[in-house]
Structure 1
Amino acid sequence: MAKRVVKNVEASIRARLLNLSRMTGENYNAVLLRFFQERFLTRLGMSKYKEYFVLKGGLLLSIQRITIFRPTVDIDMLGAGISNDPEHLSTAIKEIARIELDDGVYFNTDTITLSVIKEDAEYEGLRFTLVVRLGKIKSRIQIDIGFGDAVPLSYTKKALPPMLPGLFTSEILLYPLESVISEKYQAIVYLGSATSRMKDYYDILFLAENHAFILKKLKMAIEATFTRRETDIGSRFFIYRSDYISEKEKMWKVFLNKIGIERRVDFSQVIKMIKEFLEPVIEADKKEENLIWDSKVWSWRDIVIPV
């Protein structure tokens, strides 16, 4: 039987995305944004730049298939082995975006804008935005590229899980989850009471609930990040104080409402769970480094080797 040819790809894709939105209950605009992000990353994986950009952030969790994650508006990447020269990076983004695929998506490279970002961190990055179209639908994607992170663990490579069955996706480099945790924890400690980044607490807890970790690897990542960013890990204990927890409780509730998460956990419980997850890692000695994290019992335990 001959393969059916879709004459209007844009209309077909729009209809399938609308159906996906109805089936999942997810906002249609959010579905569209995720789709556009997926299609840009697919083009990245097909390009000559695929070894120079490593996916971080919320989309990383989607690719790892870790249940439902908070929505994210940007594609967050690490520049690895590539110059941070704005003109060079602009050229790379344009070449990636111009790759043609039969997915109905068109990235308008004439609309690229560039700005320097330095949000609650001491390491600068670059932010690119560009207009993307699917037929008459017009949107915009944001790509944040950072540099200078200390990553002692290897990157992995994995194909994107396609939102729509049958669409081609490609492999891209993925940031180690251990380093995701270490950087978020460092940001919490570094910013202290000034932080408004409730997403860091949410993300650490989310990862601890949905992924297994080897203590040694997580410890390596934490030590590397705190050393690279010149942050004293011994200053972390303010996080556990009752006055700090009370101060952030309202901010935490506002954050949960903003991202539309139905689950409600008090901030005091979040801190307690993060403490039980990370304190054994920070304080571990050599003989404890092979412990693995078991989220079901919320504890580090010995690796069981079958006899």
Structure 2
Amino acid sequence: MNDKFRNFTNNQQMIAHIRKLAKDNKTSTQVILEEFTLDDFVRRIAKSKYKNNLILKGGFLLSSLIGINNRTTEDIDTDIKGKDLTSSEATKMVDEICNIIPSKNDPIEIKRVGNVQKIHEGAEYVGYRVHLLGTLYKKSKANIKIDISTGDIITPKEIKYEYNSLIDNSPIKIYAYNNETIIAQKLETVFSRSIVNTRMKDYYDIYMLNKLRKQTDYKKLKLDLSLTRTALENTANSRNSFNEIFEKVNKENYSWQITLDYIKSSKAMRDKWENYIHQKAYARKINFQDTLNAIEELMLELFVN
């Protein structure tokens, strides 16, 4: 490993590097510090005995796919396989991973803060959330979270993903969701939640994923459309929302098209989007109609192929 930490001997030098990265990526130093801590925790997962049990998904994976200049997060989302998910098991796993030192000069200390919390977001998954505190050179601090859940369907299965470290650009191999499952779950959420959806990041993520998949030089986001359709069917079946997407309501339209028209006409959804982009600078040049166009384009491709 090309250990970037070897180039730094104190907090000031590392913070200077973090400030440069923040400037280059048009974000704040605190966001980069959080990303460093998340990065370091993923490195620890990859070196742990749980490396085959934890499957990366969610915002951190998306940041890796589309770039932190386009998407930031303060948590790591994972699915677990091959182990029973209990509060005590989640605590044990996270504590053991925190105690791993990924390289001898690693200046980041990561510790669990408080007890694990049970999470249950709708009927989609059940899991646990663990709050962590990262300390860089015993001075600079970053609060992050890791969610460990179970129950979601991956079509056909998880992949071995090569994540490039933000710290030193070295490859970290870890299991992760494939692109088709990522897209399928985002689309299912859009249609099953319709105008009660408060997760505007789903719309943003679909817009960015759809945009980047069409760039011939962007190989991270190639999509198998047939597999994406299958993943959407599997996800909808597992979440009891199949008819909300695939039901033929008349000769010309599926249920998803009726829902999309409903979303298009919703002032409440446009207001939610405006609030979202006010908070997320990287999304400010995108209007809500752009995201709806991306969703429609992608769905039409899935229903043709």
Classify the TM-score, shorter chain. Answer: 0.7 to 0.9
Q: Give the C-alpha shift of residue 68 in structure 1.
A: 3.5
C-alpha contact (below 8 Å) 1:156/1:174 kept by paired residues: yes
Matching residue of 2:55: 54
Alignment of 1:216-295 (within 5 A): 216-231=226-241, 232=243, 233=245, 234=247, 235-236=255-256, 237-241=258-262, 244-261=265-282, 263-281=284-302, 283-284=303-304, 288=305
- Structure 2 length-normalised TM: 0.83
Provide the rounded CA distance (Å) in 2 between the counterparts of 1:186 and 1:5. 45
Asked whether the 8 Å contact 1:121–1:187 carries over to 2, the reply is no
Q: Deviations over 1:238-277 (max 9, x none)?
A: 2223764433112111111211125433323321231121
User: Residue 64 of structure 1 aligns to a residue in which SS?
Assistant: helix
Task: Write the distance in 2 (CA, Å) between the matches of 1:143 and 1:67.
Answer: 18
Partner residue, 2:252: none
Identical aligned pairs, as a percentage? 25
Residue 146 of structure 2 corresponds to: 143
On the 8 A contact 1:188/1:200 being kept in 2, the answer is: yes
Distance 1:242 1:63, change over 3 A: closer
Q: Is the 2:264–2:292 Cα contact (8 Å) retained in structure 1?
A: no
1:134 aligned partner = 136
Is residue 119 of structure 2 the alignment partner of residue 117 of structure 1? yes
Instruction: Give a deviation string over 1:216-259, Cα, whole Å, max 9, x none.
Output: 11111101100111112234222223764433112111111211
**Where does residue 40 of structure 2 map in the other structure?**
39
Closer, same or farther in 2 for the Cα pair 1:112/1:177, shift >3 Å?
farther
CA distance in 2 between counterparts of 1:6 and 1:65 reads 27
CA 1:23–1:207: 2 relative to 1, 3 Å: closer
1:50–1:173 CA contact under 8 A, matched in 2: yes
Greater CA deviation, 268-277 or 9-18?
A: 9-18
| Rounded Cα–Cα distance in structure 2 between residues aligned with 1:103 and 1:65 | 26
**Paired AA for residue 278 in structure 1:** M
Gaps spanning 5+ residues in structure 1: where? 289-307
1:161 is aligned with what amino acid?
A: N
CA shift at 1:35, angstroms? 0.4
CA contact (8 A) 2:263 2:269 kept: no
| Alpha-carbon offset, residue 106 of structure 1 | 0.5
Q: Which residue of 2 aligns with 1:158?
A: 161
Aligned pair in 2 of structure 1 residues 71, 6: CA closer, same or farther (>3 Å)? closer
In structure 2, runs of 5+ residues without a counterpart are: 214-221, 248-254
Contact map agreement 1:240 1:271 (CA 8 A) in 2: no
Give the residue type in structure 1 aligned to 2:232: I
Residues 139, 243 of structure 1: alpha-carbon distance in 2 compared, 3 angstrom cutoff? closer
Shift of 1:191: 1.7
Note closer, same or farther for the CA distance 1:176–1:16 as it changes in structure 2 (3 Å cut): same
Which residue of the partner structure matches residue 295 of structure 1? none
Residue 197 of structure 2 is aligned to residue 195 of structure 1: yes
After TM superposition, the structure 1 = structure 2 runs for residues 65-76 of structure 1, keeping only pairs within 5 Å, are 68-76=69-77
Shift of 1:20: 2.1
Q: CA RMSD in A?
A: 2.3
Q: Deviations over 1:86-121 (max 9, x none)?
A: 101211111111011322000124x34311122344
Instruction: Give the aligned partner of residue 217 of structure 2.
Output: none
1:105 corresponds in structure 2 to: 108
Provide the rounded CA distance (Å) in 2 between the counterparts of 1:147 and 1:226. 16
Number of residue-to-residue matches in the alignment: 279
What SS class does the counterpart of residue 32 from structure 1 fall into? Answer: helix
Task: Name the SS for the 2:260 alignment partner.
Answer: helix
Change (3 A) 1:138 1:67: closer
Q: Which is further off, 196-205 or 27-36?
A: 196-205
